[in-house]
Amino acid sequence: MKNAIKVICFVLAVVVIGVSSCYIYFTWDIGEFEVSAGSEKGTVIITNYLGNNEDVVIPKSLRGKKVVSIDNSAFQGIDNIKSVTIGENVKSVGNNAFQDCENLQKIDMGISVERLGNMAFANCPKLTEVKFSPVLKEFGHMVWGNIENNINVDLNGNKNFIFDKGILYSSDYSVIYESLISADLTDYVLPETVVELRPYAFYMQKELKTLKLNSGITTIPEGCFIQCSGLTELVLPDTVTSIATVVLAGSGIETVTIPDSVVKIDDFAFIKDGSEINIVDKLQGKDDENSAVNTDPAKKITIITTEGSFASTFARRHNFNLKLVDSL
Element (H, E) at 268: none
Does 138 map to a domain? yes
Higher pLDDT, 25 or 198: 198
Please return the burial class of 261, using the count of CB atoms within 10 Å of its CB with bins 0-12, 13-18 and 19+: middle
Chain Cα centroid distance, residue 303:
30
Confidence of residue 289 (pLDDT cuts 50, 70, 90): very low
113 and 219 both lie in a single domain: no
pLDDT of residue 30: 53
pLDDT of residue 5: 55
> Strand locations in 29-105, DSSP E?
33-37, 43-49, 55-58, 61-62, 65-70, 83-86, 92-93
Show the DSSP H helices in 78-155 as ranges. Answer: none
Does 130 map to a domain? yes
Does 21 map to a domain? no
Element (H, E) at 281: helix 279-283
Read off the CATH number of the domain in which 113 is found.
Answer: 3.80.10.10
pLDDT of residue 272: 80
pLDDT of residue 277: 46
145 and 212 both lie in a single domain: no
The pTM of this model reads: 0.85
pLDDT of residue 300: 79
Does 12 map to a domain? no
272 and 227 both lie in a single domain: yes
Q: Which of 204, 6, 188 is nearest to 122 (CA)?
A: 204
Does 171 map to a domain? no
Give the DSSP letter of residue 219: E
135 and 193 both lie in a single domain: no
User: What domain range includes position 53?
Assistant: 32-159
Q: How many domains does the chain have?
A: 2
- Which phi-psi region, left, alpha or beta, contains residue 166 (left: φ > 0; alpha: ψ -120 to 50)? left
Domain end (from 110, 126, 159): 159
Percent of the chain with pLDDT over 70: 83
195 and 317 both lie in a single domain: yes
Does 220 map to a domain? yes
Strand 161-164 vs strand 167-170: parallel, antiparallel, or unpaired?
antiparallel
Confidence of residue 31 (pLDDT cuts 50, 70, 90): confident
- What's the whole-number average pLDDT of the chain? 87
Separation between Cα atoms, residue 118 and residue 124, nearest integer Å: 14
Percent of the chain with pLDDT over 90: 80
Asked whether the predicted pLDDT for residue 284 surpasses 60, the reply is no
- C-beta separation of 119 from 145 below 8 A: yes
Does 6 map to a domain? no
Lowest mean pLDDT among 19-28, 48-57, 132-141, 201-210: 19-28
Does 290 map to a domain? yes
Q: Which of 136, 137, 135, 140 is nearest to 121 (CA)?
A: 140
pLDDT of residue 1: 57
